[in-house]
C-alpha cells in the first residue's frame, strides 16, 4: 500500500473517531450539566437541554498583543 493511501486511511480514521468522541462528550456533558458551551457565529454561547441559547461573550478576532512568527 502506498504512503499516500495509508495517510488518507489514517487521516479519515482519525477524523471519524475524533468526531464521534466529541459528539459523545458533548452529549454526556449536556446530560450532566444541562448545558454545553460552544463557539457559534462569533460568540461563545451556552446551549441548554431545552434548546434555548444564551450568548456569553463575543469572540474578538485579533489582538494587538499577538505576533505572527514565521519559521
Q: Which of 14-18, 31-35, 57-61 has the lowest mean pLDDT?
A: 57-61
29-57: average pLDDT: 94
- Separation between Cα atoms, residue 49 and residue 34, nearest integer Å: 5
Res 13: pLDDT: 87
- 56 in Cβ contact with 43 (< 8 Å): yes
Amino acid at each position: 500500500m502506498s504512503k499516500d493511501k495509508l495517510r488518507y486511511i489514517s487521516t479519515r480514521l482519525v477524523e471519524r473517531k475524533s468526531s464521534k468522541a466529541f459528539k459523545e462528550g458533548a452529549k454526556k456533558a449536556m446530560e450532566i450539566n444541562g448545558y454545553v458551551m460552544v463557539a457559534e457565529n462569533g460568540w461563545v454561547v451556552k446551549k441548554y437541554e431545552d434548546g434555548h441559547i444564551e450568548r456569553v461573550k463575543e469572540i474578538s478576532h485579533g489582538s494587538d498583543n499577538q505576533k505572527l512568527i514565521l519559521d
